Amino acid sequence: MVLNYTSGTTSAPKGVVHCHRGIFLMALDSLINWSIPTCPVYLWTLPMFHANGWSYTWGMAAVGGTNICLRKFTGATILALIENHGVTHMCGAPVVLNMLNPTNKQELLSRPVQVLTAGAPPPAPVLHRVEALGFVVSHGYGLTETAGVVVSCAWKKEWNRFPATERARLKSRQGVRSVSMTEVAVLDPGTGSRVEPDGLAVGEVVMRGPSVMLGYLKNPAATAACMKGDGWFYTGDVAVMHPDGYLEIKDRSKDVIISGGENLSSVEVESVLYGHPAVNEAAVVARPDEFWGETPCAFVSLKEYDHESKRMPMTTEKDIIEYCRAALPRYMVPKTVVFKDELPKTSTGKIQKFVLREIARAMGSPSSSTLASKL
């Protein structure tokens, strides 16, 4: 029925082929999963070529929705359109949520807006801040290969009693499978068996169901690499399963950093970095190291202006490292911090980590540089 393209965060984009039945079920599932009422006003911040805007292209038509479209989005543009058109729903990757930062109290929402975020694990500090502005955030997980969100962090009423920071932490988990997805599991890469649901044992996320793609366009090798067995799709995402059955993504398999024999999640380090008051965006990749094998290298952009303190944020590499050291085990603390005006992104707004990895690789080993200076 449709040909979509992956966003290309880890490699070149691939064409994804979907059938009519899968897209029809995904469109219905997207409405049920998010409890969409009739006649919503929907703001488009998602690209339609990428998973068809999580299948809301068809979903909004099915419920008689009004579509508010824009060519390019900024935080100010989004907030203005919400007020001008009475927007009730919008979707966006965490990078979009991070842009929603009003410069004054007049820009706070006059009414709640439902937001569905997916595409990357959202940092808990970003969720906390966005909900304080008046957005009601739902979180899910899916891929272009599934045509939309197929795992949802279904909210439990008893969680409302928790402090805001704890609610944000719980909401940052990806959650449980949606009604149309047949099965979702986390498998141990060594044994192929399901990992213990203890929130600690990591494995690869696999799933099967009617909305899983038919395959990659004219790329049988890539299709065979991720479609195995009885319809199982191997996502390449590393995750844990919690005792309550909720899935939590830890990283892409290509983004896991192995430092001194310890596997560390770049996502966990990034979540801490987003808590720093001066950090606007953050991404962590592996930098080669002759002694440790790899060490975490953090790329960050800083906020332009701190509206609370009425001054420009000032920070150094030492400040960032000390901040992380207070919140992370020593082996997870970035050994290098690179400041950039803006991090490279795909057309879908995701940070291009493969570009940052190339930069980190070109920087060489910090251990060898230290040794050379001593010699």
Domains in the chain: boundaries: 2-251, 256-374
Distance of alpha carbon 316 from its chain centroid, rounded? 26
Instruction: Give the per-residue pLDDT at 102.
Output: 65
Token reading at 84: 């001008």
CB–CB of 45/80 below 8 Å?
no
pLDDT for res 161: 94
Three-point CA angle 275, 355, 301, nearest 5° = 30
The identity of residue 56, as a single letter, is Y
CA distance linking residue 24 with residue 98, whole number of Å: 32
Closest Cα partner for 100 from 134, 56, 69, 66?
Answer: 134
Check if the beta carbon of residue 93 is closer than 8 Å to that of residue 348.
yes
Per-residue pLDDT tens digits of the chain, which is 375 residues long = 999 988 665 557 789 999 999 999 999 999 999 999 999 999 999 888 878 899 999 999 999 999 999 888 888 899 899 999 999 999 988 888 888 876 555 556 788 999 999 877 778 888 888 888 889 999 999 999 999 999 999 999 999 999 888 888 899 899 999 999 999 999 998 899 999 999 999 999 999 999 999 999 999 999 999 998 788 999 999 999 999 999 999 887 778 888 877 778 888 899 899 989 899 999 999 999 888 888 999 999 998 765 555 555 678 999 999 999 999 988 899 999 999 999 998 766 778 888 999 999 999 887 655 433 333
Nearest to 301 by CA among 71, 99, 23: 99
Q: What is the pLDDT of residue 368?
A: 56
Backbone angles phi, psi at 259, to 5 degrees: -120, 115
Residue 370: the pLDDT is: 47
Helix (H) or strand (E) holding 94: helix 94-99
**256-374 has which fold?**
GMP Synthetase; Chain A, domain 3 (3.30.300)
Cα(243)–Cα(93) distance, integer angstroms: 27
Where does 2-251 sit in CATH, by number?
Answer: 3.40.50.12780
Residue 107 burial by Cβ neighbours in a 10 Å radius (0-12, 13-18, 19+): middle
Total length of the chain: 375
**What one-character DSSP code corresponds to residue 175?**
B
Q: Is 17 exposed, middle or buried (0-12, 13-18, 19+ CB in 10 A)?
A: middle
The backbone torsions φ and ψ at residue 205, rounded to the nearest 5 degrees and listed phi first, read -75, 125
DSSP assignment letter at 305? -
Are 180 and 59 spatial neighbours (Cβ–Cβ below 8 Å)?
no
CA angle 271, 277, 279 (to 5 degrees): 60
SS3 371: helix
Cβ–Cβ under 8 Å, residues 208 and 230: yes
- Token pair for residue 154? 């279904």
Please report, to the nearest 10 degrees, the dihedral formed by the alpha carbons of residues 194, 195, 196, 202 taken in order: -160
Strand, coil or helix: 279? strand
Residue 184 corresponds to which tokens in the numbers above? 């979702």
Strand 293-302, strand 232-241: pairing: unpaired
Q: How far apart are CA 117 and CA 111, in angstroms?
A: 19
